[in-house]
A = this chain, B = another copy of it.
Amino acid sequence: MSSVSPELLDRFAAIVGEKHALRSEADLAPHLIENRGLYHGSSPLLLKPGSVDEVSAILTLATETGTAVVPQTGNTGLVGGQTPREGKSDIIISLERMNKIRDVDPVANVIVADGGAILADVQKAAETHGRLFPLSLGSEGSCRIGGNLSTNAGGTAVLAYGNMRHLCLGLEVVLPSGEIWNGLRRLKKDNTGYDLRDLFIGAEGTLGIITGAVLKLFPQPLGKQVAFAGVNSVEDALSFFNLASSLCGTSLTGFELMPRFGVEITARNIEGVRDPLESAHPWYVLVDISTSDSAETAERMMMALLEQGFEAGLVQDAAIASSVAQQKALWHMRESMSDAQKPEGGSIKHDVSVPVLAIPAFMREARDAVMAAMPGARICAFGHMGDGNIHYNISQPVGADKQAFVARWRDMNHIVHGFVLAHGGSISAEHGIGQLKRDELASIRPAIEMDLMRRIKRAFDPAGIMNPGKVVSLDQTLPTN
């Protein structure tokens, strides 16, 4: 299978030492697949470099010999960006040994971490110093900073704090040539030439490997309130979001939309989750408020918001978490909504965004078309309403054949993405492009945009060795190992 010679594999392995070079099928297996089971790649070798210099030596050799490599951190990506190509021999570069917190400065509000540092470890290090690192996602216990940056990760706190792009001040990147770019700046303002940092963020490891980053910290909020409210419609949820925005401003730190079906299956399939409201409602919102001045402000805001929501007829029923444990339980329900689909059979997923105001129309149109195309489909469309970001997931009809259902993935994409594009939306709000959406992206974007992306790729990686076949496909010949 491999077109990389054993001698060359040995040269790569020698850089990190045999102990940190995996070659057996059993050792490699977990790195060749991803969570959704959509991709199964192949690779003759996984390297675990222990330093930036080792990463540099690997990439120098890769460019010299035209050997394709794929960077991998927590292997939690959802679009196959971290999975080696099928039928090729991409060498996997895992950053799992480069997992240190290099520095925490709570006064300057920055933390410096290795590309392989686990997100939860960064959160904990910040907390230990009385600070908040706000990026928060379901996979935070295993995903790693380099991957979070390479996919410009979003999650549940984007509304108030922005996504990974907004949380990063500086980067250290090893280029395909093996050269190291030290851009580990800690500055809030720096207008000195082209924005290289933002080019590497979201590039999914196709322009270089992010080995270190300077990230922003925030004060721990003094006040925190979480509520769960039943609403009659997506329209009401949107009106309630607008009310919350104007009442709470930047103190509105989360506003998540969930359908009845999502709450049902989460209560049914996820240990410890229960519906906190007495009766059923077609839709639900989770509201999160954080305040910097005092706990009372958050309380006052939440009470005023719910009161006005009831008065305006937007909120039908609501429960406010009365302890940190209850707050966590409400968030746990929302964060397990995707996992809760697994016991229900196959699911076809979308990660889309539309302008916030277009959400109700988009949801209506997509539902009608999906139900017409597949009677019995169970739609589980939930997500970050305040960001316009909906995870438009579809569970198979009860009793349907899973294989036959999943085979309709592209059909369903076509339907859902059609409405997304009609609203000027995005077919990948936060998960990225990877392998899953590469060709679709090229088909929907203007030719000039894809052309500019290819020009950048060629300028940074003339040998085409960095995570080939992901994000953008080149006309030029790629390494075939």
Contacts and interface: CB of A to CB of B under 8 A. Distances in A.
B202 A428 contact: no
B193 A433 contact: yes
A311 interface: no
A293 B249 contact: yes
A275 interface: no
Contacts of A428: 190-192
Nearest to A110: B355
* Residue among A203, A249, A471 with max Cβ neighbours from chain B (10 Å): A249
A325 interface: no
Interface stretch (A17-25, A62-70, A419-427): A419-427
Given A181-B448, A428-B192, A459-B459, A186 B355 contact: yes
B460 A452 contact: yes
A247 interface: yes
Size bracket of the A interface: 35 or more
Contacts of A195: 165, 195, 198-199, 201-202
Contacts of A248: 292-293
Contacts of A471: 193-194
B191 A388 contact: no
Q: How many copies does the complex hold?
A: 2
Interface stretch (A151-159, A364-372, A398-406): A151-159
A249 B219 contact: yes
A452 B181 contact: yes
Interface in A385-407: 386-389
A453 B152 CA distance: 22
A175 B452 CA distance: 10
A292 B249 contact: yes
Contacts of A278: none
Nearest to A108: B357
A446 interface: yes
Contact of A190 (B180, B219, B426): B426
A191 B429 contact: yes
B189 A426 contact: yes
A51 interface: no
A387 B189 contact: yes
A170 to B, nearest CB: 9
A107 interface: yes
A251 B291 CA distance: 10
Contacts of A196: 449, 452-453
A130 B291 CA distance: 24
A326 interface: no
A356 interface: yes
Contacts of A198: 195, 198-199
A426 B191 contact: yes
Interface in A329-371: 353-357
Interface in A436-453: 437, 441, 445-446, 448-449, 452-453
A246 to B, nearest CB: 6
A189 B430 contact: yes
A187 interface: yes
9 shortest interchain CB distances as A-B pairs: A249-B292, A198-B198, A190-B426, A455-B459, A189-B429, A459-B459, A250-B250, A188-B387, A195-B198
Interface of A: 105, 107-108, 151-152, 154, 158, 163, 165-166, 175, 179-183, 185-196, 198-199, 201-203, 207, 219, 221, 242, 245-251, 291-293, 297, 301, 353-357, 384, 386-389, 424-433, 437, 441, 445-446, 448-449, 452-453, 455-460, 471-472
28 contacts: A107-B242, A154-B189, A154-B191, A158-B189, A165-B195, A175-B452, A181-B452, A183-B449, A186-B424, A187-B354, A187-B425, A188-B387, A189-B384, A189-B430, A190-B353, A190-B426, A190-B428, A191-B430, A191-B431, A192-B433, A196-B453, A219-B249, A248-B293, A249-B250, A249-B292, A250-B292, A455-B459, A458-B459
Given A108-B357, A195-B195, 9 more contacts: A154-B189, A185-B424, A188-B353, A188-B389, A190-B428, A192-B427, A193-B433, A194-B471, A195-B198
